[in-house]
Structure 1
Amino acid sequence: MFTLMSGAYRYFTKQDEYNVLVLGLDGAGKTTLLEKIKYTTTGISGMSPEKIQPTVGVNIAKAHIQRRLVKFLDLGGQEDLRGIWNSYFSDSHAILFVIDSGNKKRMDEALSVLLTLSRAHELEQVPFLVLANKLDINDITALAQVKELVNGAADNFDNRSVRVLGASAVTGEGVQVIINWLFNSMLENNNLRPPLSSEF
C-alpha cells in the first residue's frame, strides 16, 4: 500500500525540468543577469550589481514557468574555469551566451568561445541565445555588431535555433524577452532534447 501511495505521490508531484547554461567570458554580466532573472520570475530582489563578485563554480536561479521548472546555471567565465563547462552539457536544454557588447577588445575572444561551444557534440541539438549585454551603457550599434559577428558564423550552428538579442542586466530591459524565447525554444525542442523530471 505504501509503495502504491508513494508512486502516486511522485506521479502527481513530478514536473518537467529544463536547464539553461548561462555562459560567456568573465565580466560579461552573467551573474548580474542571473539576479535580474530571479527578480523577473519571482519578484524577489537579489544582490545589487555593485556587490556581485566574479563567479567561481556555479550560481543557480530557479523559475517555475507554466508548471515547469527552469534552472539557470551561471558558470564562471574565467579562462581557467571554462574547462568545467562541458560537464554540464549533457543535461542542458539551452545556452544563454552573454557578451559584453561594449568590450571591443574581447569581442574576438567571445566569438572564439562561442564557436567552440557550437562545435561541442553534446550541444548539437541545443538552442542558443546570444545576448548583447550592457546596452544601458552602450549604443544600439553595439547590438548590430554582435549580430554581425554571429551571422558571420551562422554555418557553425547547423539547423539549431539561434537568436541574438540585446538587453541590460542592470536595468532589466529585455530580460523578460530572453526568458520567453528560451522557454518557448526549449518546449519546441522537446522531441530532440526531452526535459528532465523533478518533484515540486
Structure 2
Amino acid sequence: MGLLSIIKKQKLKDKEIRCLILGLDNSGKSTIVNRLLPKDQRSSEITPTIGFQIHTTHIQDRIVSLWDIGGQTTLRPFWDNYYDKTDVLVWCIDISQPFRFNESVHELFSFLQRDQGRPGHHLKLIVVLNKIDLISGSSIMTRVSSVQNDLSGVAGAGAVFVRCSGVTGQGMQELSYEMCSD
C-alpha cells in the first residue's frame, strides 16, 4: 500500500463518527435514528429494537454510523459490548415520562462509571430530551430543568442537552450539529 492510499484512508477515517444511541426502552431511540436518515432510507414503521441496528449516513460532511441499541432491561448488561471505537454517546430520555427519570439517570451513571475505567478514551455525551411534542408548553421548561439538574452531577460539564421530537423533527438539526461538532 502506497503512502497516498494510507493518507486517503486516514482522511476518510477522520471524517467518520461512530454514535452509540442508548437509553431506556421506549425513549424514542429508533425514532430519532430514523429521523436522522435521509427520507428515502426512513422506515414507515418503528418497532422496539431487539438487539441492535446499525445505520450509516452522511450528516454535514461526515460519515456517521448510528448504533441503535435496545433499551430493555435484559439488553442493558450488553451495552458495554458496543462501546469500542465510539466517538459520541447519545443518551435518550423520554421527557414525557417523569416517573422513569431516576431509572434513566441511574443507567447513565452506571454506563459512565464503566467508561472511566477505559484508558485514553473519552466520549462526547449528548443527552437528548425526546418527545417534547407530548407535553404542554408550560411543563416543558419545568421538566427540562428537572432533568438537567438531576443529570448535571452525572453527565459532567461537557455534556450537551438537546430537546427534540423524533416524531415531528423538532430539534433534529441541533442534534445533527452536536453529533458532528468537535
Whether the TM-score (by the shorter chain) exceeds 0.5 is: yes
Matches within 5 A, 1:20-39: 20-39=19-38
1:83 and 2:77 matched: yes
Residue 73 of structure 1 is matched in structure 2 by 67
1:129 and 2:126 matched: yes
Residue 8 of structure 2 is matched in structure 1 by 12
When structure 1 is superposed on structure 2, of 146-155 and 175-184 the one drifting more is: 146-155
Residue 46 of structure 1 is matched in structure 2 by 42
Distance, in Å, in 1 between the alignment partners of 2:141 and 2:55 is 26
Distance, in Å, in 1 between the alignment partners of 2:131 and 2:156 is 28
2:4 is paired with a residue whose SS is: helix
1:92 and 2:82 matched: no
Residue 116 of structure 1 is matched in structure 2 by 110
Q: Is the 8 A contact 1:132 1:142 kept in 2?
A: no
When structure 1 is superposed on structure 2, of 93-102 and 103-112 the one drifting more is: 103-112
Residue 56 of structure 1 is matched in structure 2 by 50
Shift of the 85–145 alpha-carbon distance from structure 1 to 2, 3 Å rule, reads: same
Distance, in Å, in 2 between the alignment partners of 1:84 and 1:116 is 13
Q: Is the 8 A contact 1:147 1:164 kept in 2?
A: no
Q: Is the 8 A contact 2:95 2:132 kept in 1?
A: yes
Residue 191 of structure 1 is matched in structure 2 by none
Shift of the 55–143 alpha-carbon distance from structure 1 to 2, 3 Å rule, reads: farther
Q: Is the 8 A contact 1:132 1:143 kept in 2?
A: no
1:151 is paired with a residue whose SS is: helix
Q: Could you tell me which runs of 5 or more consecutive residues in structure 1 were left unpaired when the two chains were aligned.
A: 188-200
Shift of the 167–71 alpha-carbon distance from structure 1 to 2, 3 Å rule, reads: same
- Paired AA for residue 8 in structure 1: L
Distance, in Å, in 1 between the alignment partners of 2:110 and 2:169 is 29
What's the TM-score, normalizing by structure 2?
Answer: 0.84
Instruction: Give the superposition deviation at 1:143.
Output: 5.2
Instruction: Give the superposition deviation at 1:178.
Output: 0.4
Q: Is the 8 A contact 1:20 1:95 kept in 2?
A: yes
In terms of Rg, which structure is larger? 1
Q: Is the 8 A contact 2:59 2:176 kept in 1?
A: no
Shift of the 164–179 alpha-carbon distance from structure 1 to 2, 3 Å rule, reads: same
Distance, in Å, in 2 between the alignment partners of 1:138 and 1:172 is 15
Instruction: Give the superposition deviation at 1:117.
Output: 2.2
Distance, in Å, in 2 between the alignment partners of 1:147 and 1:21 is 25
Q: Is the 8 A contact 2:62 2:180 kept in 1?
A: no
Instruction: Give the superposition deviation at 1:21.
Output: 0.8
Shift of the 77–35 alpha-carbon distance from structure 1 to 2, 3 Å rule, reads: same
Distance, in Å, in 1 between the alignment partners of 2:7 and 2:110 is 39
